[in-house]
A and B are shown apart, each in its own frame.
Chain A
Amino acid sequence: MINVDDVKSAARNIRCDVIKAISAAGSGHPGGSLSATDILATLYFYKMNVNPEDPKAENRDKFVLSKGHAAPALYATLGRRGYFNVEEMYSLRKIGSIFQGHPDMNKIPGVEMSTGSLGQGFSTAVGMALAGKIDNKKSKVYVLLGDGEIQEGIVWEAAMSAANYKLDNLVAILDNNGLQIDGRNDDVMKVEPVYEKFESFGFEVMEADGHDIEELAEKLDAADEVEGKPVLIIARTVKGKGVSYMEDVAGWHGKAPNAEETEKALAELGGEQ
Chain B
Amino acid sequence: MAEKMATRQAYGEALVENGAKNKDLVVLDADLSKSTMTVKFSEAYPERFFNMGIAEQNMYGVAAGLAASGKTVVASTFAMFATGRAFEIIRNSIGYTHLNVKICATHAGVTVGEDGASHQAIADLALMREIPGMIVVNPSDGVSAKKALDAVLAIDGPCYVRYGRASVPVVYDESLKFEIGKGIQVRDGKDVALIATGIMVNEAIQAAEILEKEGISARVIDIHTIKPIDEDIIVKAAKETKGIVTCEEHTIIGGLGSAVAEVTAKKAPAKISMIGVQDRFGQSGKPDQLMKEYGLTAEDIVKAAKGLL
Contact = CB atoms under 8 A, between A and B. Distances in A.
Q: Does A associate with B in a complex? A: yes
A113 B65 CA distance: 8
Contacts of B52: 161
B68 A112 contact: yes
Contacts of B281: none
B47 A134 contact: yes
Interface residues of B, number: 28
A131 B97 contact: no
A189 interface: no
A187 B65 CA distance: 33
A178 interface: no
Contacts of A119: 57, 61
Contacts of B65: 113, 123-131
B69 A132 contact: yes
Interface stretch (A152-160, A205-213, A248-256): A152-160
B18 interface: no
B47 A161 contact: no
B58 A161 contact: yes
B64 interface: yes
Interface centre among B50, B68, B88, B98 (most CB of A within 10 A): B68
B62 interface: yes
A105 B64 CA distance: 12
B71 interface: yes
B96 interface: yes
Interface string A96-110: 000000001110000
A210 to B, nearest CB: 25
A127 B88 contact: no
Contact of B89 (A116, A123, A125): A123
Main secondary structure of the interface of B (DSSP, over half): helix
Given A113-B64, A131-B71, A153-B57, A124 B93 contact: yes
B53 A161 contact: yes
B92 interface: yes
Given A113-B68, A128-B65, A131-B70, A123 B97 contact: no
A127 B64 contact: yes
A116 B48 CA distance: 29
Contacts of A114: 92-93, 96-97
Contacts of B55: 157, 160-161
B66 interface: yes
Interface string B190-215: 00000000000000000000000000
Contacts of A157: 53, 55, 57-58
A161 B57 contact: no
Contacts of B69: 127-128, 131-132, 135
Nearest to A143: B65
A130 B50 CA distance: 10
A10 B92 CA distance: 31
Given A131-B66, A134-B48, A154 B71 contact: no
B26 A120 contact: no
B98 A154 contact: no
B63 interface: yes
A124 B53 contact: no
Contact of A130 (B62, B89, B92, B93): B62
Interface string A143-173: 0000000000110011011001100000000
Contacts of A164: 53
A165 B67 CA distance: 18
Interface string B15-55: 00000000000100000000000000000000110101101
Given A126-B65, A154-B57, A160-B58, 13 more contacts: A114-B96, A123-B62, A123-B64, A125-B65, A127-B63, A127-B67, A127-B68, A129-B65, A130-B65, A131-B65, A134-B26, A158-B61, A158-B62
Interface of B: 26, 47-48, 50, 52-53, 55, 57-58, 60-71, 88-89, 92-93, 96-98
9 contacts: A116-B92, A123-B93, A124-B93, A127-B65, A134-B71, A154-B89, A158-B61, A160-B58, A161-B52
